[in-house]
Amino acid sequence: MAVQGSHSVAVIAHTVQPLVDFLEAELNVEMRWETATRHERLIEHIRKKRYDVLFVDTPTTLVGHYQAGYQPIARIPGVISASFVGFIDGPAYFREDMKGLRIGYLRPMMLATQLAKRHLQSNGINTKTFFKEELYLANHNSALNALKHGRVDVISIASAVFGAHDGEFDSRDLIIIEQTKSVPQYAFSVSQKMKPALRNKLQKALMHAHKNATARTFFKKRIVQRIVASDIKPYSPYRYLQRYITN
């Protein structure tokens, strides 16, 4: 299984391993997972059909479906967006205030970065000239710490991270300067080669995982209540997200 995340590998492991342990027991199979610090590498492996299962964001789900034949069978309910965030006593309260400031993004191909860049471009902003400096950071913790230590003036992160911190970091209040449009949450997709019986069993297990004590840590860490059945329909309107912004 390919697992995508915007945190460190250790944090991803702590989150996803309880779900994997549950699925192994339910399906009576050995299940291994991997992630990639370079998203380009993950995309390359998906196109080569390395995986049986994907647990990835909207753009990567679309790449898997339209470029490698993976079929979504379940998803995390709800939507995800990106927010431009700063400290409440910082220099920016509105979009125009960010002009000439230093911004910290997550890695270039992460969803929060892609949503942020598309949002600015759709409003006629050339980020190369709008910001004084653009930095790319490893994960959400790196972005928040860069803001804390004054390395950047504003950051672009997943909106849920703002909520997870209760709008506060380092005993200082955070402010959402602007928020992007939302897209569907992460999906579970399976290879075309997976036998229908196993696919159906996997889908059923995912939909009941929230009731299992072993898998409970996954839902607590993801701040979600359950997993629901899905197909490609919730994702297909966002097919354009396969075209990553790389500059």
Give the DSSP letter string of the chain: -EE--SS-HHHHHHHHHHHHHHHHHHHTS----B--SSHHHHHHHHHTT--SEEEE-HHHHHHHHHHH--EEEEE-SSEE-EEEEEETTSS-SSGGGGTTSEEEES-TTSHHHHHHHHHHHHTT--HHHHSSEEEE-SSHHHHHHHHHTTS-SEEEEEHHHHHHTTTEETTEEEEEEEE---EE--EEEE-TTS-HHHHHHHHHHHHHGGG-TTTHHHHHHHT-S--EE--STTTGGGGGGGS----
Contacts of 184 (CB under 8 A, 6+ apart): 58, 75, 78, 79, 80, 234, 235, 238
Q: What's the pLDDT at 69? A: 98
pLDDT digits (tens, 9 = 90+) for 187-224: 999 999 999 999 999 999 999 999 999 999 999 888 78
Model confidence at 132, in pLDDT bands (50, 70, 90)?
very high
In this prediction, residue 104 carries a pLDDT of 98
Burial class (CB in 10 A: 0-12, 13-18, 19+), 72: buried
Each domain of the chain, given as residue ranges in start order, spans 2-78+184-242, 82-179
For the chain, percent of residues with pLDDT exceeding 90: 83
Rounded mean pLDDT of 169-190? 96
Domains 2-78+184-242 and 82-179 in one fold: yes
| Residue 44 banded pLDDT, cuts 50, 70, 90 | very high
End-to-end CA distance of the chain: 29
Angle between helices 111-122 and 58-68 (to 10 degrees): 100
Report the pLDDT value the prediction gives residue 139, as an integer from 0 to 100. Answer: 87
pTM: 0.91
- The whole-number pLDDT of residue 223 equals 78
pLDDT computed for residue 18 by the predictor: 95
pLDDT band at 75 (very low <50, low <70, confident <90, very high): very high
What's the pLDDT at 194? 98
The pLDDT tens digits of the residues spanning 146-163 come to: 999 999 999 999 998 998
CATH number of 2-78+184-242: 3.40.190.10
Residue 71: per-residue pLDDT: 98
Round to whole Å and give the CA distance between 4 and 7: 9
Fold for domain 82-179?
Answer: D-Maltodextrin-Binding Protein; domain 2 (3.40.190)
**Whose CA is closest to 62, among 189, 157, 158, 202?**
189
Whether 170 shows a pLDDT value over 80: the answer reads: yes
> Taking Cα atoms as reference points, which of 245, 184, 158, 237 lies closest to residue 58?
184
